[in-house]
Amino acid sequence: MKEAIASEKHNGYTPSFGMESTRAAVADYWVRWFAPSLADSPHRVTAKDVVLSSGSADALSLVIGSIAGPGDRMLVPMPYFARYEMTLAYYSIEPVYYHCDPAHDWEVDLPALRALATAPGDKPIKAILLNNPSNPCGSNWSRSHVEAIVRLCEELQLPIIADEIYAGITFTVPLEEGAEAPAASPPYTSVADIAAEIPRFITAGVSKRFCLPGERLGWIILVDPAARAQRVLAGVRSLTARFLLPNHLLQVATTAMLKGAGQDYYDRAVRVLQRNSIDMYHALRKTGVLQPVVPAGGMFMSVLLRPELLKEEVRDGERFAERLAAEENVLAFPGEPFRMPAALRLTISRPAEITAEAVQRICAFCERYKK
């Protein structure tokens, strides 16, 4: 960014959907890190398949608003990131919720998904929204599961919108306390890396893997080997004219960043997330009244309450979080806004000493409110 500013060459208008050089850098970055099967493919994504946006939330809004409209329906995960429902409501699109199972690494219940997608109804289901790694779940689906989802969507002719903002942020939490954690990150599978003809719109950006949430630079990548979704892509491009963002300087800086960052850069942040996850998981499990779900990716841990073991006043996520904040000055997000009842979402990205103090306070709180 400093170099871009100092050059005094990057202060002009750019296309609303992004400079070609930045879009090409995004395409190359995604193929290099998350879709290597496309590297030598005739369907390799290029600048023409990429649209820039004002962050990944805006990217989702652009795609959703281009692929569906008032009266349509869209399949949405449950639990989910609360902005999904807000965005669908903005476009008067009806959400149809499908279940992700905490007992099976937050995988999608595929038979139930098929039943939802094929159930008779007056309103068409225009697409499915996926989120992996998930906020709030902390999932990292296996390659076989991602492939099974893509295959089912291809069979049902259901376009995919994949929120992959946490792509590449994966780690392993040993179930046995004290066991050595693997240094290498487990593999991550993007829907872009599965050979299929069904259109896939992948949304992501610089906010998570590059730790730059305030810069507001996101992107949409279309993988469309059969060229079925080009009209939708044209609609996405048209909608970018609403804001004419991101700015010129940021695009130039991002182009250089995507080309220059290596594995060591990404590993530093992932190690913090892994260490915090390990410590939090094993400490919270010992409370007896909390059931943390082992995280495998992203920046959050979901924690299920055991209401039958808690006093009445803290048996749901909202009341638990409210009292925890008032009595221990620890902020935890209740699960209810994520359609994850009787649960909490905890952040695993804080410095280790803050995380350790917060965990101690949560454990003390649980001891007071245990039946």
pLDDT digits (tens, 9 = 90+) for 170-206: 999 999 998 888 888 899 999 999 999 999 999 999 9
Q: What is the mean pLDDT of residues 258-275?
A: 89
Question: What tens digit of pLDDT does each residue of 321-337 get?
Answer: 999 999 999 999 999 99
pLDDT at site 95: 97
Match 């905490």 to its residue by tokens.
102
User: Domains in the chain, start-ordered, CATH in brackets?
Assistant: 1-261 (3.40.640.10), 265-369 (3.90.1150.10)
Band (246; pLDDT cuts 50, 70, 90): confident
Residue 121 has pLDDT above 90, yes or no: no
% of the chain residues with pLDDT over 70: 98
Rounded to an integer, what distance in angstroms lies between the CA atom of residue 361 and that of residue 371?
18
Rounded to an integer, what distance in angstroms lies between the CA atom of residue 270 and that of residue 259?
20
Q: What is the mean pLDDT of residues 223-228?
A: 96
pLDDT at site 370: 96
Report the range of poorest mean pLDDT among 3-17, 44-58, 148-162: 3-17
Q: Which of 4-18, 44-58, 202-216 has the highest mean pLDDT?
A: 44-58
Residue 250 has pLDDT above 90, yes or no: no
Q: What is the mean pLDDT of residues 73-79?
A: 97
Phi-psi region of 55 (alpha: psi -120 to 50; beta: other; left: phi over 0): left
pLDDT at site 122: 84
The half-sphere exposure of 179 on its side-chain side, counting CA atoms within 13 A, is 10
Question: What tens digit of pLDDT does each residue of 279-323 get?
Answer: 999 999 999 999 999 999 999 999 999 999 999 999 999 999 999
pLDDT at site 2: 67
Give the residue with greater pLDDT, 153 vs 185. 153
Band (242; pLDDT cuts 50, 70, 90): confident
Residue 6 has pLDDT above 80, yes or no: no
pLDDT at site 263: 84
Residue 1 has pLDDT above 70, yes or no: no
Q: What is the mean pLDDT of residues 31-39?
A: 96
pLDDT at site 3: 75
pLDDT at site 92: 97
pLDDT at site 8: 64
Rounded to an integer, what distance in angstroms lies between the CA atom of residue 198 and that of residue 157?
7
pLDDT at site 80: 95
pLDDT at site 13: 79
Q: Mark out the alpha helices in the chain (DSSP H runs).
A: 2-7, 20-34, 55-67, 83-90, 110-118, 143-156, 230-239, 248-260, 263-285, 317-328, 352-369
Report pTM.
0.94
3-state SS assignment for residue 282: helix
Give CA torsion, residues 318, 338, 138, 328, to 10 deg.
-20
Q: What is the DSSP string of 57-90?
A: HHHHHHHHHHH--TT-EEEEEES--THHHHHHHH
pLDDT at site 9: 72
CA 156 to chain centre: 24
Q: What is the mean pLDDT of the chain?
A: 94
Band (5; pLDDT cuts 50, 70, 90): low
pLDDT at site 163: 98
pLDDT at site 51: 97
Q: What is the mean pLDDT of residues 94-115?
A: 96
